[in-house]
Structure 1
């Protein structure tokens, strides 16, 4: 392969990555300005990428976005990397906090652990727990608006599994807003009495929340350490997000 061909491929990939990294679909002019490159050259690269089926362009707004084919492949790759990198992140969380650590995802209106590092106790992998009071619930619904929360919990009965469990959507939303302000969620006595957790969302390359990293342990031991543990879990969740391709 000639040096010129390699250079051309590199420029095309830079354009593809710039289109993929945009928060919203972008025009060729916006992408060229972001890259600081000639608009005509970038436009040609975008057309080639569209022809190859890697990008799609809206005929009315003329904005480019990742094709569903490429997005599907990228999602599969991110999932595979999550399963590879997750255990090391969980191990670090356990070493830093002394608590059990989990990666959980949304399934229906419940939270299910997909990976865990539990020094002692029963495994939670594959077991579902209601999102409204689960240790990972707030982190998993981090980006939801009030309307979206209403839809998620439309058929949910808010049973008090723990003494501090939220009694409805409004109470859950208030705790979620406080968690966003803090940077991580704190769940104390919601899933069951005396159980304490901190949690933070994990995002993939598109910015979508794919899972939550959280700890779990006795309130009497973990509650006094909440600020330190919260920063640890947020930092590890952000690092895992970066490994999955997320760039804020």
Structure 2
């Protein structure tokens, strides 16, 4: 059991370093004997859980392990997501969704819709979708330019952004706020708040958002935004994200 525990500690130590690490760096991070750590790293590599860079000699999580972890996180999202959505609906009284990026659009993958009108599988342009800002939360200006290269910013709603610069300004404001507010962008009179959901690697895998009429929901933006951001963080934690 001790050897298993040591091995798991070493594996987690490597997982916590995005760029990988040598045996010395892992030992220093864990405060452990370098020889013991080196043995554990060698065993984990032999088991296919770690890969070693031939040039830098640094260890990193193997693609085999990463792939399995991604599949496990996806499975958990599909189990825990509906529970989170139900709690959001109970707290806000409006429809709640989980959406992800597909191509240049955002698509709802899970929903809890009191009205019964399903939006799952429908795609909307990222620049004006209710979840668009949350899905592109971590993007730099350069990355946004790449995402929207060739995109025609059609005004699906009266408040839809006219270009990348306007979208970025709204995204920056959303980051400061802790959640995005989309009012009359995807459709006239439609209001939404959204927040990103991350997995164990820190990658944004989807966005949690509400949707409803602007007239009723705009005055509740701050309250609903707090609920959405809190539940998005909770779902992220369930997927293994640790800030």
TM-score between the two structures when normalised by the length of structure 2:
0.97
User: Considering only aligned residues, what root-mean-square deviation do their CA atoms show, in Å?
Assistant: 1.1
- Match 1:138 to one of 133, 140, 144: 133
**Partner deviation per Cα, 1:142-179 (whole Å, 9 max, x = no partner):** 11111111111112110101111000011111111111
2:80 is aligned with 1:85: yes
How far apart, CA to CA, are the structure 2 residues paired with 1:57 and 1:230?
43
Q: Which residue of 2 aligns with 1:3?
A: none
| Whole-angstrom CA distance in 1 between matches of 2:30 and 2:228 | 34
Choose which of 165, 168, 173 in structure 2 pairs with 1:170.
Answer: 165
Matched with 1:246 is 241
Name the residue aligned to 1:100: 95
Is it true that 1:156 corresponds to 2:151 in the alignment? yes
- Can you list the C-alpha shifts for 1:93-129, whole angstroms capped at 9, x where unaligned? 1111111000000000000000000001410001101
Match status 1:29 vs 2:24: yes
Partners of 2:25 and 2:185 in 1: how far apart? 46
- The 2-side partners of 1:27 and 1:183 are apart by 36
Q: Which has the larger displacement, 195-204 or 219-228?
A: 219-228
Aligned length: 243
- How many Å separate the matches in 1 of 2:146 and 2:89? 34
- SS class of match (1:156): coil
Q: Write the deviation string for residues 24-54 of structure 1: whole angstroms up to 9, x where unpaired.
A: 3223233222222222211211121112111
Alpha-carbon distance between aligned partners in 2 of 1:29 and 1:138, rounded to the nearest angstrom: 41
In structure 2, the residue matched to 1:201 is: 196
Equivalent residue, structure 2, for 1:64: 59
Hey, what does 1:55 align to over in structure 2? 50
Structure 2: unaligned runs, 5 residues or longer = none
